């Protein structure tokens, strides 16, 4: 096997979750060239990965992108996205390939009828199934995330050096705690906090920081993804929604307290921690007849009550966070 193409176009967390496949391929087939195809906006996640020999970035023109890939003359394609675009690439390149099982039917049954037919298997392990035919095995070393030196954040320049990283963002509203719940959490936690998120989360971050300026620092929108990852890496604890920085925290094997709304960990996207000594706690409102209501999320609660987040026990989250920090 001389040249292998891995396809995963998006998003942050999903790409991070493919990192064991990249590493295991390169280490177990050291003579092979490992190429990775992803969306242009996600280049920084992969471009510093030492196990990737060449990166191919899709912008808008899929046809032109396919022509570039054809010139590489790959021997094998590993499709970790498994959608229409990746299908077009495989059809055009006409090379042997394998695709990971998305289990869309099982997810639809779970969302529609609340019958859990999902396998008790993390998505990383489903990704790894695509390379079994190449003789590749999971090395058990978890996720990778590589931060270039120039993106390392010097904590000496920040108000405090020991802190909780509070990730307030997520792609969909129904995966995020409402601001009044975040405020309650901030007020009841007594520890320094760095609020993490994108530019879209900046305004909420400012409102949270205003509650206690001496111990809350709003980093939302102030740092790029790698710099935010640096802040995650140096945190004492990460409290996070089901989002990309949660998986980056898992790559650094940080203690993680994840808060779940309309999605459920049964989908196989919970923090992937291979070290059994690492701490991982999940906060979720169990017993709701409407949950999960989507495999991804919505702009607002379809039922209008948003009980999966409104009924989150903030005092219990504070208690568990305090216990984790005491260890």
Q: Are residues 159 and 106 in the same domain?
A: no
**Could you read off the pLDDT of 282-306 as tens digits, one per residue?**
999 999 999 999 999 999 999 999 9
Res 22: pLDDT: 98
- CATH code at 65? 3.40.50.2000
Do 175 and 306 sit in the same domain of this protein? yes
pLDDT at 275 over 90: no
Overall domain count for the chain: 2
- What are the pLDDT digits (tens) for 154-180? 999 999 999 999 999 999 999 999 999
For residues 98 and 126, is the Cβ–Cβ distance under 8 A? Answer: no
Q: Which of 134, 162, 185 is the last residue of a domain?
A: 134
- So what's the pLDDT on residue 274? 87
Determine, yes or no, domain membership for 47. Answer: yes
Q: Which domain holds residue 169?
A: 149-326
Specify whether 169 is located in the same domain as 307.
yes
pLDDT of residue 278: 81
Say if residue 160 is in the same domain as residue 127.
Answer: no
Cα 200 from Cα 303, distance rounded (Å): 25
How does residue 216 score in pLDDT terms, banded at 50, 70 and 90? very high
300-321 confidence digits (pLDDT tens): 999 999 999 999 999 999 999 9
Does 178 map to a domain?
yes
Confirm whether 220 is domain-assigned.
yes
- Residue 227 pLDDT: 98
Which residues have CB under 8 Å from 121's CB, separation 6+? Answer: 268
CA distance 30 to 34: 9
Contact, 79 vs 100, CB < 8 A? yes
pLDDT band at 277 (very low <50, low <70, confident <90, very high): confident
- Do 302 and 293 form a contact (C-beta atoms < 8 A)? yes
| C-alpha to C-alpha distance for 67 and 62, rounded to whole angstroms | 9
pLDDT of 188 above 90 = yes
Query: What's the predicted TM-score (pTM) here?
Result: 0.96
- For residues 187 and 271, state if they share a domain: yes
Q: How far is CA 130 from CA 81, 121, 126, 255, in A?
A: 11, 14, 7, 29
Cβ within 8 Å of residue 213, ≥6 positions away: none
């Amino acid at each position: 096997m001389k040249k292998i193409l891995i396809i995963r176009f998006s998003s942050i967390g999903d790409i991070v979750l493919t990192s064991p496949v990249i590493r295991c391929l390169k280490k177990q087939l050291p003579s092979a060239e490992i190429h990775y195809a992803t969306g242009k906006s996600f280049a920084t996640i992969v471009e510093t990965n030492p196990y990737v020999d060449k990166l191919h970035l899709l912008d808008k023109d899929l046809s032109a992108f396919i022509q570039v890939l054809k010139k590489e003359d790959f021997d094998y394609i590993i499709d970790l996205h498994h959608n229409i675009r990746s299908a077009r690439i495989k059809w055009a390149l006409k090379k042997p390939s394998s695709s990971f099982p998305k289990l869309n039917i099982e997810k639809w049954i779970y969302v529609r009828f609340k019958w859990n037919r999902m396998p008790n298997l993390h998505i990383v392990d489903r990704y790894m199934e695509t390379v079994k035919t190449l003789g590749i095995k999971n090395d058990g070393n978890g996720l990778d995330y590589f931060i270039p030196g120039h993106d390392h954040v010097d904590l000496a320049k920040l108000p405090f050096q020991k802190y909780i990283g509070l990730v307030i963002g997520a792609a969909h509203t129904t995966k995020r705690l409402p601001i009044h719940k975040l405020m309650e959490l901030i007020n009841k936690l007594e520890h320094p906090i760095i609020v993490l998120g994108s530019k879209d989360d900046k305004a909420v971050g400012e409102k949270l920081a205003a509650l206690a300026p001496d111990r809350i620092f709003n980093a939302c929108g102030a740092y790029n993804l790698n710099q935010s990852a640096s802040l995650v890496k140096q945190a004492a604890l990460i409290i996070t929604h089901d989002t990309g920085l949660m998986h980056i925290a898992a790559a650094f094997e940080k203690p993680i307290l994840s808060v779940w709304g309309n999605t459920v960990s049964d989908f196989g996207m919970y923090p992937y921690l291979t070290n059994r000594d690492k701490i991982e706690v999940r906060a979720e409102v169990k017993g709701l007849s409407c949950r999960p209501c989507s495999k991804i999320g919505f702009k607002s609660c379809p039922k209008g009550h948003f009980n999966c987040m409104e009924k989150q026990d903030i005092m219990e989250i504070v208690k568990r966070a305090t216990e984790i920090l005491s260890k």
